[in-house]
Amino acid sequence: MQQIARNKVFGGWQKRYRHQSQVLGCEMVFSVFLPPQAERGPVPVLYWLSGLTCDDQNFVTKAGAQRYAAEYGLAVVAPDTSPRGNDVPDDDAWDVAKGAGFYLNATEAPWSQHYRMYDYIVEELPVLINETQPVDATKCGIFGHSMGGHGALTIALKNTERYHSVSAFSPICAPMQCPWGEKAFNLYLGPDQSTWQKYDASVLIAEVDTKMPLLIDQGTADDFLSAQLKPELLQAACDACNHPLTLRMQPGYDHSYYFVSSFIGDHIKHHADALCAL
């Protein structure tokens, strides 16, 4: 693992690293914010998953999360959104392939060799973080935006023993029922929709025994709201199984990081309240 950037911010350190991923079969880059409290010992850790076309730097430079993470004493890990490199298959469309890994394990050629973002986020990256950074792996949360919100919800629901808090901004709530999800799932997983269900939060919610409270913020002026995001379907699924969900429809906000930065403090407090109580 090679450190490629290091900046002091709000008393902590924003760092960036490069490493060779065995799971993805390519070189990957990720960022880590360490709050000042990390100098005294291990701190709780949050994983942030970004959206379509993004990488780790969108969140690091636009969300304004470091101020709040420093206040509450949380480390924040921001990985890339997909495998990268000349040997990694790509597509001319912006909503699949590089920058659009959808946080799943692809089973269809040629994607299955590299597009295994689920295993990277859940298995490989946390091992690397736990071995090299001053974090407390028993106090771990996950959150994200758009495609990353989808990833955060599905990963948390499938791994309730590992993640103790979850939240999302403008998540793709029912990918089996929207154009983005249908396109990506067909490409990466094939036409058998029974294989899609394990990556759809609106389906998974009925299968979990641990009812971890969900916090979702959604802007009412989001251009993708009705066609792609569909929070009403996740709300209905949560209501059907009595799963706690706080869905906040924020008037006038869109899909951008202006929206994320406006409410990032609330989300980090949501995670801090859960993780620091452990």
Low-confidence ranges of the chain (pLDDT < 70): none
Q: Which residues pair with 17 in a beta bridge?
A: 3, 30
pLDDT single digits (tens) 201-259: 999 999 998 999 999 999 999 999 999 999 999 999 999 999 999 999 999 999 999 99
**What's residue 277's pLDDT?**
87
Tokens 């993780």 identify what position? 275
- CATH (domain of 187): 3.40.50.1820
CA distance 55 to 150: 16
The DSSP result for 126-188, as a single string, is HHHHHHHS-EEEEEEEEEEETHHHHHHHHHHHH-TTT---EEEES----GGGSHHHHHHHHHH
Alpha-carbon separation of residue 15 from 18, 83, 152, 159, 232 (angstroms): 11, 20, 22, 27, 37
Q: How far apart are CA 3 and CA 138, in angstroms?
A: 25
User: Shortest CA distance to 150 belongs to which of 129, 167, 173, 130?
Assistant: 173
Q: Please, what's the b/e burial string for 88-117 (b: 16 or more CB within 10 A of its CB; e: otherwise)?
A: beeeeeebbbbbbbbbbbbeeeebeebbbb
pTM: 0.97
Listed residue (262, 255, 204) closest to 226, CA to CA: 255
- Which residue type, as a one-letter code, is found at position 52? L
Give residue 278's pLDDT.
82
Supply the range of the domain harboring residue 205: 2-276
Report the interhelical angle of 257-275 vs 65-72 (nearest 10°).
Answer: 10
What's the Cα-to-Cα distance from 184 to each of 71, 111, 113, 191, 258, rounded to whole Å? 38, 11, 16, 11, 27
CB-CB contact of 62 with 260 (8 Å): yes
How many degrees, rounded to 5, is the angle at CA 249 between CA 179 and CA 271? 95
What is the count of structural domains for the chain? 1
How do residues 24-35 score in pLDDT, each as one tens digit? 999 999 999 999
Q: What is the pLDDT of residue 188?
A: 98
Amino acid at 249: M
- Give the whole-angstrom CA distance, residue 184 versus residue 94: 11
Active site residues: 146, 222, 255
